[in-house]
Amino acid sequence: MFDIRKIQEQVIYAAIKSASNDETAREIIFEKDGRAGTEDNPTWVKSTMKRLENHFDKSVIHEIRRNCQCGYGMDEKLALVKELMALSSNAEEFGNLDKAQAAGIYCENGELYLQFLFCPCPMLAEVDRLATNTWCQCTTGYSKVLFEKAFACEVDVDLLKSIKMGDEKCLMKIIPQGPVWK
């Protein structure tokens, strides 16, 4: 069995170190006195994000968190998106496929969206509510990697809603930066 907390600590540490340095990464992940290592998961998630928010500006925070995407199940999801692409000739057809909608993908006014009616993050299972969407930015990184691989172009992903912030669903807008269907 894998330890999701340890994986998250390592991934976030590496992303912070890449954006700054080893000392900053250690302080944010473990606190200066190492006290964070004894926190339960919900407390650690909230306090780590607070330390991250106190240390960096919003654009750097989002970049750090996008680089923390876990990649769980990426191969299966990529195969599904590629299958849906093969069955469609444009965004509307893609988003209107039953299989796409079952996976939370839909098209509205020519724009693609991905939604979850539950929070898919195992680290947030015991978290009641988040004060900011900082933690949730990892899912934009995951979706960016997924859709860039499938669409073979740059993709921007905007987080519009988050269940853990009190919304009824998690919702992202998927914005391809190049042609997808030729």
pLDDT digits (tens, 9 = 90+) for 20-76: 999 999 999 987 776 666 788 999 999 999 999 999 999 999 999 999 877 778 899
With H, G, I as helix, E, B as strand and everything else as coil, classify residue 104. Answer: coil
Is residue 114 classed exposed, middle or buried when 0-12, 13-18 and 19+ CB atoms within 10 A define those classes?
buried
pLDDT for residue 2:
65
Q: Give the chain's mean pLDDT.
A: 93
Residue 39: partners with Cβ closer than 8 Å, 6 or more residues away: 47
Q: Give the containing element (helix H, strand E) for 84.
A: helix 74-86
pLDDT for residue 64:
96
CB 77 within 8 A of CB 102: no
When pLDDT is averaged across residues 140-152 and rounded to a whole number, the result is 96
pLDDT for residue 63:
94
pLDDT for residue 1:
56
pTM of the model: 0.91
Structure tokens at 85: 């692409």
CB 71 within 8 A of CB 141: no
Distance between CA 176 and CA 182 in Å, rounded?
Answer: 13
Distance between CA 169 and CA 40 in Å, rounded?
Answer: 25
Count the alpha carbons within 13 Å of 82 in the hemisphere toward its beta carbon.
11
Structure tokens at 172: 């992202």
When pLDDT is averaged across residues 5-9 and rounded to a whole number, the result is 89
Give the pLDDT band of residue 19 (cuts 50, 70, 90): very high
Structure tokens at 14: 């590496």
Query: Domain residues of the chain, as ranges?
Result: 4-66, 74-176
Q: What is the pLDDT of residues 78-113, one digit of tens each?
A: 999 999 999 999 999 999 999 999 999 999 999 999
**What are the angstrom distances between the C-alpha of 100 and each of 6, 27, 56, 66, 155?**
33, 42, 37, 24, 18
